[in-house]
A = this chain, B = another copy of it.
Amino acid sequence: GHSPMAVVQKVRRKANQSKPPPTPKTLNPSSGHSPMAAVRVILPHPHLPIPSWRPQLKPSSSYPRRAVAAPASLSPSPLTASLQLGDVIEAQQFDRQVLNEIFEVAREMEAVERGSHGFRSRVLEGYLMATLFYEPSTRTRLSFEAAMRRLGGEVLTTENAREFSSAAKGETLEDTIRTVEGYSDIIVLRHFESGAARRAAATAEIPVINAGDGPGQHPTQALLDVYTIKREIGRLDGIKLGLVGDLANGRTVRSLAYLIAKYQNIKIYFVSPDVVKMKDDIKEYLTSQGVEWEESSDLLDVASRCDVIYQTRIQKERFGERIDHYEAARGKYIVDKKVLGVLPKHAVIMHPLPRLDEITVDVDSDPRAAYFRQAKNGLYIRMALLKLLLVGH
């Protein structure tokens, strides 16, 4: 564990490494407080002022190097804190304390966003975010770009970095990151390879946010899901959660299970066709965390007991030739008026979107249909992360 204050210091420290504050001091390379000072000894041309980009040239193959590079006075908290808010790489990196801090800031962001129409926030004025997307995900990209702009920041966009001429020519992700970090203050990376975000974060001196790396992680989705439960139900301990649909392949339900397990008295019901059941690794993890879970084939019964029904899309692409299996699976558990009929008044229905017909359209008008509010919460969570990573609490 560590104190929120420590987190803030980490945030500030990392921000400072690549971005001295815009005070006269920053133009004075010999300032003892400048992170530049720490690396001055390796500069070959003492007659030149310290170039701001020099730090990125020190070997940067692991997180610890960063702590080393930081002025000691600025890193009083354990290294893990740097992992926790120096970059956003995977859902597991967050503990309850950090989650609460993020959710508090997200809550503040609701008011900031409401107030921003016709009034430009200056919270992130002068900061530049690069959205480096190696595969298209317009929903996620627009959500991050809206978040940056609602806070007064600017954006550099690349929608298909896979055809990034350099990548096409065989440039490594690390080299691309070293170039792009020279143009921006924070990188939001979407990649088709699992682990790409971690590699990028290990290379970059500026914060990196994982916007999904292949079958790997999509931590901001997991955060907005948990935030939505807290926002809609009013608490996170003692939640009864029904996970419905494709539990075998759904990246989001797996991440959600990891995060919700950090809370007390959680009960999870798995409702899915046999071909796409939740895998044992998650079941074992939940058991090891003392989370009660059971499988059920009765959606109505589960809906009548839950605070949250989390529906997911059956992903056709996972079934290959067996269209018959797909058709059988997708029709099996539909959230419709019948489900609303048994769902408690205070409960809500969630879905990561896009949805096809696993939730019928006539459900949309029910106040308990929370999936579009959930999408909007993605904006608040991303605003909160950008603020925390760039300027701290």
List residues of A whose CB falls within 8 A of some B CB: 18-22, 26-27, 42-45, 47-49, 51-54, 56-59, 110-111, 113-121, 124-128, 130, 136-139, 141-143, 145-146, 149-150, 154, 156-159, 161, 163-167, 169-171, 175-176, 178-180, 182-185, 231-232, 234, 313, 345-346, 348, 353-356, 364-365, 367-369, 372-373, 375-376, 379, 390-391
Contacts and interface: CB of A to CB of B under 8 A. Distances in A.
Nearest to A150: B128
Given A128-B150, A170-B356, A179-B139, A19 B376 contact: no
Contacts of A154: 120, 149
Contact of A48 (B54, B138, B234): B234
Given A27-B115, A42-B367, A166-B353, 17 more contacts: A19-B114, A20-B117, A21-B117, A44-B346, A44-B348, A44-B367, A45-B234, A52-B110, A54-B373, A56-B372, A128-B146, A138-B165, A142-B180, A166-B354, A169-B354, A175-B353, A179-B353
A346 B45 contact: yes
A24 to B, nearest CB: 9
Given A19-B117, A125-B118, A171-B353, A156 B165 contact: no
B118 A126 contact: yes
A21 B182 CA distance: 33
Q: Copy number of this protein in the oligomer?
A: 3
Nearest to A345: B44
A13 to B, nearest CB: 14
Given A54-B373, A118-B19, A146 B45 contact: no
A290 B391 CA distance: 54
Given A57-B364, A59-B365, A138 B166 contact: yes
A116 B126 contact: yes
